[in-house]
């Protein structure tokens, strides 16, 4: 079966200082996906990150969480993509998204970095923006001056539960997205309602 997504990358910052922060939503999703497949990510120096290869829902995926800081994510993404000769079009980058409400997510292909340092560095290293994105909503603090503190803040109990429910929904649509039915996956995922306050 041909796959449109072969590699799933979760953007985040490494280390205990950044565990369970909103900015690490992408990395948290990839960890959840590995767990769902009965696997765990393991440190892999040659990819500058934590890596697992999983068989899941009838598809094989390379999972990667860069162990570089967010603004150097592209180094890790390129190392794994080059090693397995995975074209950018078959890479899905999961990342936090300020412009989407908590409890929602959107799939898209291509586009700019929107000020996200992890996406900016990935585009620079791959030399293209034509990879797929999984935008995981974290909401916006309402004041641009508060953004840094907000994204680096830890997830509360309710936010953690809402993210877990959202990750379950993403995993329901990911097989469709990975095997060529991106439109169906988008329709289903984009109809998920925001988490209620």
Catalytic residues: 23
Q: Are 102 and 159 in contact (CB under 8 A)?
A: yes
What are the binding residues? 18, 69, 71, 117
Tell the residue number behind the tokens 């910052």, with chain if given: 13
Residues whose CB falls within 8 Å of the CB of residue 127, separated by 6 or more in sequence, listed in order: none
Q: Are 114 and 108 in contact (CB under 8 A)?
A: no
Q: Give the N- to C-terminal CA distance of the chain in Å, as an integer.
A: 42
Q: Distance between CA atoms of 127 and 43, rounded to whole angstroms?
A: 26
Run of H or E residues at 59: strand 59-66
Q: What are residue 110's phi and psi, to 5 degrees?
A: 75, -170
137 three-state secondary structure: strand
CA distances for 163 relative to 38, 166, 186, 194, angstroms: 20, 5, 18, 11
What are the binding residues for tRNA? 18, 69, 71, 117
């Amino acid at each position: 079966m041909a796959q449109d997504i072969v590699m799933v990358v979760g953007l985040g910052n490494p280390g205990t200082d950044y565990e369970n922060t909103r900015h690490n939503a992408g990395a948290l999703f990839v960890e959840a996906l590995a767990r769902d497949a009965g696997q765990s990510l393991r440190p892999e120096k040659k990819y500058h990150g934590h890596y697992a290869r999983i068989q899941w829902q009838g598809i094989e995926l390379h999972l990667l969480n860069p162990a570089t800081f967010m603004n150097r994510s592209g180094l890790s993404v390129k190392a794994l993509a080059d090693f397995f000769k995975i074209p950018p079009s078959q890479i899905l980058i999961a990342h936090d998204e300020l412009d989407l409400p908590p409890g929602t997510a959107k799939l898209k292909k291509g586009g700019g970095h929107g000020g996200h340092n992890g996406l900016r560095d990935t585009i620079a290293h791959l030399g293209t923006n034509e990879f797929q994105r999984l935008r995981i909503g974290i909401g916006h603090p309402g004041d641009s001056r508060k953004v840094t503190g907000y994204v680096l803040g830890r997830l509360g109990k309710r936010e953690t539960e809402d993210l877990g429910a959202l990750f379950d929904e993403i995993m329901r649509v990911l097989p469709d997205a990975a095997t060529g039915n991106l439109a169906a996956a988008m329709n289903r995922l984009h109809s998920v309602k925001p988490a209620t306050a």
